[in-house]
Amino acid sequence: MAEPETLRVHIPLTLRNRGGRPRILPPKEIEVAMDRGQDARLLRAIGRAWAWRRRLERGDVTTIADLAREEGISDRYVSRVIRLAWLAPSVLERLVLRREPTVLAIIDLCGVAERPWAEQPEKVFD
């Protein structure tokens, strides 16, 4: 009986972790036209921050500690992420509506929210 022919293909790819998830990257010589779009985790974080802000403003919860207890997460995390609800309107428009990628991680973006609105776009996108 004849042996079946086996064809082996070698594709030089690199595995990198991005946000705790593995991502396959092509070799540097190959240009890939990928539309990065916006990171789903960032959009989720902005949505949570706005929901938490609304709950605080309506009086559903009185403190960040109460909010964190109800969500089952640390109050430190809530106090950091809720800052995203005070990003400049121009930054939010570019992040959420236009889906422009940011050069910052979520934690760094939370820190930018403390800056004046006029300074935020420069820090987030440049």
In tens, the pLDDT along 2-18 reads 777 877 766 677 777 76
CA distance 13 to 23: 10
pLDDT at 84: 95
Can you spell out the DSSP letters for 50-116?
Answer: HHHHHHHHHTS-SSHHHHHHHHTS-HHHHHHHGGGGGS-HHHHIIIIIS-PPPSS-HHHHHHHTTS-
**Residues 6 or more apart in contact with residue 102 via CB below 8 angstroms:** 42, 95, 109, 124, 125
- The amino acid occupying position 37 is G
In tens, the pLDDT along 56-98 reads 999 999 999 999 999 999 999 999 999 999 999 999 999 888 8
**Which residue has 């946000």 as its token pair?**
19
pLDDT at 39: 79
Q: What is the pTM of this model?
A: 0.68
pLDDT at 36: 55
Residue 31, pLDDT above cutoff 60: no
Count CA atoms closer than 13 A to 34's CA, side-chain side: 10
